[in-house]
Structure 1
Amino acid sequence: MISYEIAASAITTASPEQIFAVLDDFGHWPAWMPSFENVRVDLPEGSTPGPGYRFRLSGRVVHADMQVVEFTPLIRVTRFQISFPPLTGFNRCRIVPLENGQSRIERVDSIDLHGLIASLLDTTQRRRFERLADEFLEALKHRVEGTPHVKP
Structure 2
Amino acid sequence: MEADMASSKLKTTLLALATPALALLTPIVSGMLSGKGARYQKVAQNAIRSAVTTSDNGLDDLIKVFKTFEAGNPLVQTAISEFRTLATAAGITVPELDAVVSHLKCAIYDLATALVPADVLKADATPVAAATTTQTAAG
TM-score by length of 2: 0.25
More strand by share: 1
> Which has the larger Rg?
2
The higher relative CO (CA closer than 8 Å, separation ≥ 6) is in 1
More helix by share: 2
